[in-house]
Amino acid sequence: MAQQTLHIDGAVPIIGVREEEAMDDYDRRTIPHDPREVASDSRGWAAAAQLVPFVGLSFVGPLIIWLIKRDEDAYVEYHAREALNFQISLLIYFIVSAILIIILIGLVLLAVVAIYAFVVMIVAGVKAATGSLFRYPLTIRFIGEPS
C-alpha cells in the first residue's frame, strides 16, 4: 500500500497517516478555516444539531447538543448555537403568524415561514455535514458568541 501525504494547516506533511487519525489531532476549541480540516464526528454532531428539529424536537435538540458540546468542539458549538437561535426565532415567527390569522394575513405568513424554515434547515444541515459554516438569515441572536 502506498503512503499518503496529508497537509494540515500548512504544517509539515504527515506521511503515512490516514486522514481520520490526523483529524483527531486538530484543536477542537477553534473552528478550522478549511472544511477538510473538520473531523467527521464534528460534522456529524453539527449536522445533527441542524437537522434534529425535523424529528419534532424543535429547539430542544439543538439546546441539548449545544450544552453537551459547547466546551469540547468549537465547530459543533457554532452550528448548535446557530440552530438554537434559529429555532427560537422560528417559534416567535410562528406565534406572530398564528396571532395574525385574525386578520387573514397569518395564513400566508404561516406558509411562508414553514417553507423558509424547511429550506434553510436543509441547507444548514448540508453545510454542517460538509464542514462549512452557515449563518441563518433573519435570525435573532439570543445566544451570542462565546467569550
Supply the pLDDT for residue 79: 94
Give phi and psi for 6, each to the nearest 5: -130, 125
Whether 5 has a pLDDT exceeding 70, the answer reads: no
- Distance, in Å, from the CA atom of 48 to the CA atom of 57, rounded to the nearest integer, reads 11
- Domain spans of the chain, in order of start: 29-130
| Percent of the chain predicted with pLDDT > 70 | 78
Element (H, E) at 6: strand 5-6
- Distance, in Å, from the CA atom of 49 to the CA atom of 82, rounded to the nearest integer, reads 9
| Percent of the chain predicted with pLDDT > 90 | 59
Confidence of residue 59 (pLDDT cuts 50, 70, 90): confident
Per mean pLDDT, which range of 14-28, 72-86, 119-133 is the poorest? Answer: 14-28
Supply the pLDDT for residue 38: 83
Q: No. of H helices and E strands in the chain?
A: 5, 2
Mean pLDDT of the chain: 81
Q: Greater confidence, 18 or 54?
A: 54
Per mean pLDDT, which range of 20-24, 72-76, 82-86, 121-125 is the poorest? Answer: 20-24
Whether 6 has a pLDDT exceeding 80, the answer reads: no
Supply the pLDDT for residue 33: 66
